[in-house]
Amino acid sequence: MSEKRVAVVTGASRGIGLAIARRLVAEGCAVVIADLDQEQAQQAAASIDPSGDSMGIKMDVSNYDEVAQAVQQIRERYGRIDILVNNAGIIRRGTLETVTEEDWDAVITVNLKGTFNCCKHVVPIMLERGWGRIINVASIAAKLGDITSAPGYGPSKAGQVALTKTLARELAPKGITVNAVAPHAIETEMSAQWSDEMRQRVIAGVPMGRLGKPEEVAAAVAFLASDEAGFITGATLDINGGTLMD
């Protein structure tokens, strides 16, 4: 049984997830980087945690059985899972005219069903110890719809927020909190795909006049994962430079 708290962060080989994983290591956790490519996940784990307590694992969050198997492997190695960060997410751009059924299904399946799959298999392990923290990385698009034209993305994130509230209510008496963060426009490979014109348009809409940093999302996630956030559940924390205040 690991003496450290064990955090599973999905989609953490790069971008926001990697920043979250790095921060949770700094907070004293053993972190499991769960991503599509085993080797990249392992390299990422080694790069953030020289102690060797963290690991990478291949886990496609959209595949129910693969998630079950990966979670079982994590349990065998550590004997516990304390923190789950559902960060893995994809976006498929297009208009209603150009987006395909396959685009829609892929986005909903990774972003929304993936969150369900991971909660489904990890929560029973949290229940054994009666303590857990689940943080879902949603998006400002959950509230506004997507501003860069991606019809499935906003609905997938809005569904993730509704799932956050549903599970928060169910798990509140059992020692597990479930919260979401809703970032806007963070500097990662996802936002690097934007044209200069789109980048300037997005920045113009942010009162702080800049994109956010992955570390700023990681700090919010680390807080929600901490003991100090023990009375917060079902919340969605905005990380958006003042873009939306609701």
Ligand X SMILES: NC(=O)c1ccc[n+]([C@@H]2O[C@H](COP(=O)([O-])OP(=O)(O)OC[C@H]3O[C@@H](n4cnc5c(N)ncnc54)[C@H](O)[C@@H]3O)[C@@H](O)[C@H]2O)c1
Q: Does 35 bind ligand X (CB under 6 A)?
A: yes
Quote the DSSP letter at residue 110.
I
Contacting ligand X (CB under 6 A), which of 7, 30, 70, 110?
Answer: 110
Q: Does 16 bind ligand X (CB under 6 A)?
A: yes
What binding mask, one character per residue, do residues 51-90 give for ligand X by CB under 6 A, x or -?
Answer: --------xxxx------------------------xxxx
Choose the catalytic residue: 22, 42, 62, 153. Answer: 153
Longest alpha-carbon distance in the chain: 53
b/e 207-243 (16+ beta carbons within 10 angstroms → b): eeeebbebebbbebbbbbbeeebeebbbebbbbbbeb
Q: Does 17 bind ligand X (CB under 6 A)?
A: yes
Residue 64 annotated as catalytic: no
| Cα–Cα dist 17/60, whole Å | 15
Q: Segment near ligand X (CB under 6 A), from 13-21, 72-80, 117-125, 171-179? A: 13-21
| Cα–Cα dist 5/42, whole Å | 19
| Cα–Cα dist 50/68, whole Å | 28
Q: Does 155 bind ligand X (CB under 6 A)?
A: no
| Cα angle: 166, vertex 119, 80; to 5 degrees | 130
Contacting ligand X (CB under 6 A), which of 2, 4, 36, 236?
Answer: 36
Nearest to 153, CA basis, from 190, 121, 122: 190
What binding mask, one character per residue, do residues 159-198 give for ligand X by CB under 6 A, x or -?
Answer: ------------------------x-xx-xxxx-------
Q: Segment near ligand X (CB under 6 A), from 11-19, 45-53, 144-152, 218-226? A: 11-19
Helix, strand, coil abundance in the chain, percent, nearest 5: 50, 15, 35
Q: Does 240 bind ligand X (CB under 6 A)?
A: no
Among all residues, which ones are annotated catalytic?
A: 153
Q: Which residues bind ligand X (CB under 6 A)?
A: 10-11, 13-17, 35-36, 59-62, 87-90, 110, 114, 137, 139, 183, 185-186, 188-191
